[in-house]
Amino acid sequence: MLRKLFIGAIALLSFTTATADEGMWLPSLIKERIKEMRKQGFKLKADDIYSDSKASLKDAVVQFGGGCTGEFVSPEGLLLTNHHCGYSSIQKLSSVEHDYLTDGFWAMSREEELPVPGLKVSLLVKMEDVTGRLAAGESRDDIIGKEIKGKGYRASIESMYYGNQYYLFVYCTFRDVRLVGAPPSSIGKFGGDTDNWIWPRHTGDFSVFRVYADANNEPADYSKENVPYRPKRYFKISTKGVNEGDFTMIYGFPGNTQEYITSKAVDYIEKVSNPMKIALRTIRLDIIREAQAKSVATRIAYAAKHAGIANSWKKWEGESLGLKNLNTAEKKTEYEKEFAEWAAGKPEYARLLDSINASYERVIPGYFMRELFNESIAGIELFSFASQLYNKALSQSKLPADEQAGIRKRYLKDYNREIDHAIARHMIREFVERMPKENIPQQLTAAIEKHGGAEALADELFAKTQLIDKYPLTKEEIYADPFVQFASWFAPCMIQNQKYAYRNLSNVPEVEKWYKAYMQALREWDKERAFYPDANFTLRVAYGAVTGYENADGEYHTHLTTLDGVLAKDNPEIYDYNIPQELRDIYDRKDYGRWAIEKNDGKSVPVCFLASNHTSGGNSGSPVINSKGELVGINFDRTWRSTMSDIEFDPAICRNISVDIRFVLFVMDRLGGAGYLLEEMGIK
For ligand ARG, the binding residues (CB under 6 A) are 84, 189, 192-193, 196-197, 307, 311, 617, 620, 637
The residue among 399 and 611 lying less far from ligand GLU, judged by its C-beta, is 611
> CB of 622: closest distance to ligand GLU in angstroms?
8
Q: Does 636 bind ligand GLU (CB under 6 A)?
A: yes
> CB of 548: closest distance to ligand GLU in angstroms?
18
Which 572-591 positions form the footprint of ligand GLU (CB under 6 A)? none
Structural contact between residues 134 and 216, judged by C-beta atoms closer than 8 angstroms: no
> CB of 637: closest distance to ligand GLU in angstroms?
5
CA 290 to chain centre: 27
- Enumerate residues 6+ apart whose C-beta is below 8 A from 605: 562, 563, 592, 595, 596, 597, 662, 663, 666
Please give the full DSSP string across 40-69, using - where no structure is assigned. Answer: TT--S-HHHH--SSS--GGGGEEEETTTEE
Q: Does 620 bind ligand GLU (CB under 6 A)?
A: yes
The residue among 636 and 666 lying less far from ligand GLU, judged by its C-beta, is 636
Distances (CA, A) of 511 to 131, 264, 364, 370: 21, 12, 10, 16
Structural contact between residues 383 and 441, judged by C-beta atoms closer than 8 angstroms: no
Sign of the Cα pseudo-torsion (21, 24, 27, 31, in order) = negative
> CB of 437: closest distance to ligand ARG in angstroms?
36
Structural contact between residues 614 and 542, judged by C-beta atoms closer than 8 angstroms: yes
The residue among 188 and 618 lying less far from ligand GLU, judged by its C-beta, is 618
Which partner from the list ligand GLU, ligand ARG, none does 616 bind, CB cut-off 5 to 8 Å by kind? Answer: ligand GLU
Buried b (16+ CB within 10 A) or exposed e, 105-120: bbbeeeeebbbbeebb
Q: Does 619 bind ligand GLU (CB under 6 A)?
A: yes
> CB of 124: closest distance to ligand ARG in angstroms?
22
Structural contact between residues 323 and 466, judged by C-beta atoms closer than 8 angstroms: no
Which partner from the list ligand GLU, ligand ARG, none does 339 bind, CB cut-off 5 to 8 Å by kind? Answer: none
Which partner from the list ligand ARG, ligand GLU, none does 615 bind, CB cut-off 5 to 8 Å by kind? Answer: ligand GLU
**Alpha carbons 660 and 604: distance in angstroms, whole number:** 13
Which 260-319 positions form the footprint of ligand GLU (CB under 6 A)? none
Which partner from the list ligand GLU, ligand ARG, none does 619 bind, CB cut-off 5 to 8 Å by kind? Answer: ligand GLU
> CB of 193: closest distance to ligand ARG in angstroms?
5
Among 181, 200, 379, 617, binds ligand GLU (CB under 6 A): 617
Question: CA torsion, points 320, 321, 322, 325, in degrees to nearest 10?
Answer: 120
> CB of 485: closest distance to ligand ARG in angstroms?
35
- Say which amino acid occupies 447: A
Q: Does 615 bind ligand GLU (CB under 6 A)?
A: yes
Count of residues engaged in binding ligand GLU, rule: CB under 6 A:
9
Structural contact between residues 298 and 292, judged by C-beta atoms closer than 8 angstroms: yes
Q: Does 89 bind ligand GLU (CB under 6 A)?
A: no
Farthest CA pair distance, the chain: 75
Alpha helices in 441-579, H assignment, sequence order: 442-451, 454-464, 475-480, 482-488, 491-498, 509-525, 563-569
The residue among 248 and 619 lying less far from ligand GLU, judged by its C-beta, is 619
Q: Does 189 bind ligand GLU (CB under 6 A)?
A: no
Which partner from the list ligand ARG, ligand GLU, none does 497 bind, CB cut-off 5 to 8 Å by kind? Answer: none
Among 638, 655, 662, 670, binds ligand GLU (CB under 6 A): 638
Q: Does 404 bind ligand GLU (CB under 6 A)?
A: no
Sign of the Cα pseudo-torsion (431, 437, 443, 445, in order) = positive
The residue among 309 and 369 lying less far from ligand ARG, judged by its C-beta, is 309
> CB of 309: closest distance to ligand GLU in angstroms?
15
**Alpha carbons 278 and 324: distance in angstroms, whole number:** 16
Which partner from the list ligand GLU, ligand ARG, none does 196 bind, CB cut-off 5 to 8 Å by kind? Answer: ligand ARG
Among candidate residues 454, 618, 607, the one with its CA nearest the CA of residue 64: 618
> CB of 96: closest distance to ligand GLU in angstroms?
28
CA-derived radius of gyration, the chain: 26
Structural contact between residues 286 and 444, judged by C-beta atoms closer than 8 angstroms: no
Q: Three-state SS for 612?
A: coil
Which partner from the list ligand ARG, ligand GLU, none does 618 bind, CB cut-off 5 to 8 Å by kind? Answer: ligand GLU
The residue among 226 and 616 lying less far from ligand GLU, judged by its C-beta, is 616
The set of catalytic residues is 84, 205, 620
Q: What's the distance, Cα to Cα, between the start and end of the chain in Å?
A: 59
Q: Compute the half-sphere exposure of residue 418: CA atoms within 13 Å on the CB side of its CA.
A: 9
Q: Does 64 bind ligand GLU (CB under 6 A)?
A: no
Among candidate residues 336, 363, 332, the one with its CA nearest the CA of residue 352: 336
Structural contact between residues 87 and 193, judged by C-beta atoms closer than 8 angstroms: no
Q: Does 616 bind ligand GLU (CB under 6 A)?
A: yes
Give the strand pairing for 540-545 and 549-552: unpaired
The residue among 411 and 636 lying less far from ligand GLU, judged by its C-beta, is 636
The residue among 311 and 520 lying less far from ligand ARG, judged by its C-beta, is 311
Which partner from the list ligand ARG, ligand GLU, none does 192 bind, CB cut-off 5 to 8 Å by kind? Answer: ligand ARG
Q: Does 641 bind ligand GLU (CB under 6 A)?
A: no
Q: Which part of the chain contacts ligand GLU (CB under 6 A), choosing from 26-34, 87-95, 545-553, 635-643?
A: 635-643
> CB of 471: closest distance to ligand ARG in angstroms?
32
Which partner from the list ligand ARG, ligand GLU, none does 193 bind, CB cut-off 5 to 8 Å by kind? Answer: ligand ARG
Q: Does 639 bind ligand GLU (CB under 6 A)?
A: no
Q: Please state at what angle helix 401-412 crosses helix 381-395, rounded to 10 degrees.
A: 160
Q: Which part of the chain contacts ligand GLU (CB under 6 A), choosing from 71-79, 368-376, 383-391, 632-640?
A: 632-640
Residues at the interface with ligand GLU (CB under 6 A): 615-620, 636-638
